Amino acid sequence: MAGKRGALIVLEGVDKAGKTTQCHKLVQALQQSGRPAEMMRFPDRTTTIGQLIGAYLENRSELEDHTVHLLFSANRWELVPLMKRKLEQGTTLVVDRYAFSGVAFTSAKPAFSLDWCKQPDIGLPKPDLVMFLQLNPYEAALRGQFGKERYETGVFQGAVQEKFEQLMTDPSINWQVIDASQDIEDVHRGITEHSLKAMNAAQNLPLGELWK
C-alpha cells in the first residue's frame, strides 16, 4: 500500500521578510520531530536554466522581459518530476518562492497582465499551503539596505507587494498571512502550526494542479 504523501508548503513575501531563514527553521523543526522534510528554492540557480536566470538577476546579462518570465517558469517545470517523486515518497517540501513570485515580479513591470503571467505556471503542483510573510516597507527598511540585484529597489518592491495582494484574493489557494515583523521565534511558531495542519490535511488528498 502506498504511504502518505508529503505536503507542498510555500513561503512567499517581498525581500527582507525572512523567508529563507524561516524555511530553514521549518525544515529543521520538521526533521527533528521525525517528519521527512526538505527545502527547495526558486529560482534554483544551479541548473542550466537557473544559471541564465542568475546572470540576469546579478546584472551580468540582459534578457527580454517575456523571455526571463518564461525561463523562471521553465526552471520550476524542470524540477516537477523531482518534486512529485519526493512528495509521493512522503517527504514534505518547504519551498522558498514559487509561481506567486513569478507572477508578482513580472506583472509589476509595465504592460504585463496578471493573467498573462499566470499562464505558463498553470498545472504546476499546487501548494497545500502558501504563507505570505507580511512586512511593511518601513520595517523592511529597518532591516538594512537592499542588495545589488535586479528588482532590489523600494519602488519596485512596493509594486510587487500590490501584485501579491491581488494574488491573495484567490480563494482556490490556501493563503495564510504571517506577520513577519514579530520576533523570529514567534514567526517560526506560527509557521510551524500552519504547516502541521496542512501536512495532516494533505495526507488524505491528491496533489492538486495550480490555477486549473
Residues interacting with ligand 2DT, by CB under 6 A? 42-43, 57, 72, 97, 101-102, 105, 151
Please identify the residue of the shown chain whose CB is closest to the bound ligand 2DT: 102
Compute the least distance from the CB of residue 90 to ligand 2DT, in Å.
26
**CA-closest candidate to residue 42, choices 66, 67, 7, 77:** 77
Q: Report CA torsion sign: 147, 45, 9, 128.
A: positive
CB of 97 or CB of 188, closer to ligand 2DT: 97
Alpha helix (H) residue ranges in the chain: 19-32, 48-57, 65-77, 80-88, 99-107, 114-118, 137-142, 154-167, 184-202
Find out whether 99 and 79 touch, Cβ atoms under 8 Å. Answer: no
CB of 100 or CB of 175, closer to ligand 2DT: 100
CB of 5 or CB of 15, closer to ligand 2DT: 15
CB of 97 or CB of 194, closer to ligand 2DT: 97
Compute the least distance from the CB of residue 55 to ligand 2DT, in Å.
12
